[in-house]
Amino acid sequence: MNDFHYKNGTLHCEDLALSTIAKKVGTPFFAYSHANLLRQIHAYQEAFSAVPHLIAFAVKANSNIAVLRLFGREGGGADIVSGGELHRALVAGIDPKRIVFAGVGKTTAEMKDALKAGILMFNIESAQELAALDACAKSLQMIAPVALRVNPNVNAQTHPYISTGLKKSKFGIEITQAASQYYIAMGLSNIKIVGIHSHIGSQLTQISPFVDTLTRVYELIKALRLEDVCIDHWDIGGGLGIVYNDEQPPSQKEIANALLPLLKKSGCQIILEPGRSMVGNAGTLVTRVIYTKKGEAKNFVVVDAGMNDLSRPSLYQAYHEIRPVVEKERIQEVVDVVGPICESGDFLAQDRKLGQVEADELLAVMSAGAYAFSMSSNYNSRPRPPEVLVRGKEFEVIRKRETLEDLLRGEQIPGYLQEGDLSL
């Protein structure tokens, strides 16, 4: 089912015209489809129903508390990488026993907050982190449940910036060193080993890297169990890709069918941490054309959303489909769709074939539900746009548009710079 479709010549999210939302909240804005979000978590739950499992949504993909609340109410959990994401997950009502904490740079304060909250487990990524967590748990007179993140040295065949499972990656403990780190963990008085973790990257479009990774990790699980290392939870990561342009990623069911024979043999509770595949195609960024600009070398469409709102094209040279909100016959031309940011790298599309548009028209930048608002910034002192959640014919603002006052929150002018004091 396509939750973004043209009806009576206007692009809709579910049963609501995007132009109607634009009239009420202005542009730019992010719109998410409630039906699409529900469908994705249900697809994962059904695909992996043959094994005990937890769908721990990767909060970094889209951290809005309404989105987290929706997944939590459907039995989902949270894969977090910071104290801020822990706070968001808890505020959204996610059971701490469905929260796993990953990331290479957990601070002492973050560890203590997570221990006090009672999360399911920490995914540990280095020997020093393991020792630091043991010390934190000891200071609180608590026991920290851990899994070690194993780096299997598998090529995820994705963009280098989002490939995380090779030897040169900052993530995880090399698989050849993992057993020795587990033995060290067994000797720590405030550490309890509960599982194992791996994650090799994002926007994966082939099954073979998943299979290769889990095959290697399962051999390690068997070897560890022979040494009485308890592995009850197997966090198999996430990273399943979506369709941005012409990709053909496998479905949740296809991935599950390839992995289930191995997962069943393990006897573990399986934890998955999907992000992009849960929210990516559930969202769009709607922007308004400010100007069109003809040049000898390039034609430009200047819009009111920029790289501060959606950084993926500038950061990864990523493709996002762009559709006019009003569907009609148009002369096609090749353009760069650019934003108002004072950077040459500020673009949403380059050398894109697009129907001619005019100033004040609306464009929808598709597949903007993941790594869009969550990576946005206030660069050029631009307030960030609102987020809305569409359900049928209605929508709710789930994050208000920032104001100019919001831009200044937390800042202050020192007394010696106040009016009338010009001395150095």
Q: Which residues are catalytic?
A: 342
Cβ neighbours of residue 7 closer than 8 Å, sequence gap 6 or more: 15, 17
Partners of 233 in the β-ladder: 195, 269
Cβ contacts of 97-106, under 8 Å, gap ≥ 24: 98/54, 98/56, 98/72, 99/56, 100/56, 100/147, 100/197, 100/235, 100/271, 100/273, 102/149, 102/197, 102/199, 102/273, 104/129, 104/170, 104/171, 106/132, 106/133
Length of the chain: 424
Distance from chain centroid for Cα 237: 13
The angle formed by the CA atoms of residues 20, 23 and 26, to the nearest 5 degrees, is 125
Residue bearing tokens 């746009």: 385
Where does 46-175 show beta strands of DSSP type E? 53-58, 77-80, 99-101, 121-124, 144-151, 173-174
Name the strand (E) or helix (H) holding 219: helix 208-226
Q: 284 — phi, psi (to 5°)?
A: -140, 150
SS3 state at 87: helix
For residue 91, what are the CA distances in angstroms to 84, 86, 168, 235, 322? 11, 9, 36, 24, 34
Gap between the Cα atoms of 309 and 343, Å rounded:
14
**Are the beta carbons of 259 and 210 closer than 8 angstroms?**
yes
Gap between the Cα atoms of 85 and 280, Å rounded:
19
Gap between the Cα atoms of 195 and 270, Å rounded:
10
